[in-house]
Copies of this chain bind each other. A is one copy, B any other.
């Protein structure tokens, strides 16, 4: 078969170099280019359409999520593999929503990268093993209730250390209201104190 054309986007030179080194060890992969940001990536795509784009999630200016959104509209053929460090798991769902077909951790081995490329090229979803760890975690992900927009606001203010009445002032509502939101969060997510709420905020990328 033809070689699979892969484009890599990451703002860290070390990751870019590492990716290049590892991809060049895979014989069915052709490195279509290396980009340090979304703009460069768009140019390279225009010049030479890749089959797969491997992109970091968090980059300055235009992040991976935005880039994926753009590509889905303009070049829906390109498959996207998102890359992130361990501590950015909360962004997975966002990325998948934006049409990413794969998810790699930056701690991935050459074998995992290879597997991801093959899987995604075969129009299947690839999830890094470390990501789909325990069934428990998956279940938890599945049953995580949605945060309403107001709850997000309140939760992030709680995480910043404001008291109910301070939050009430900021949002121009009664302290009772804020307390209601707080209590809803406690019951909805089955935690029982502020510490739990802050963990929650972290999980949802509100800190």
Residues of A within 8 A of B (CB): 11-22, 85, 87, 106-110, 158-163, 191-196, 198-199
Best-surrounded residue of A109, A160, A163, A195 (most CB of chain B within 10 A): A195
Choose among B15, B107, B161, B199 the residue that contacts A199 (Cβ–Cβ < 8 A). Answer: B161
Q: Nearest 5 A-B pairs (CB), nearest first?
A: A18-B18, A161-B195, A14-B18, A17-B21, A17-B18
A11 CB contacts on chain B under 8 angstroms: 107
B19 touches A161 (CB 8 A): no
Expressed in whole angstroms, the Cα–Cα distance for A198 and B20 within the complex equals 39
Shortest C-beta distance, A61 to chain B (Å), equals 15
Contacts known (A87-B87, A161-B195, A191-B161); A14 close to B13, Cβ less than 8 A: no
How many copies of this chain does the complex contain?
2
Expressed in whole angstroms, the Cα–Cα distance for A158 and B198 within the complex equals 12
A12 touches B195 (CB 8 A): no
Choose among B21, B85, B198 the residue that contacts A18 (Cβ–Cβ < 8 A). Answer: B21
Choose among B110, B161, B196 the residue that contacts A13 (Cβ–Cβ < 8 A). Answer: B110
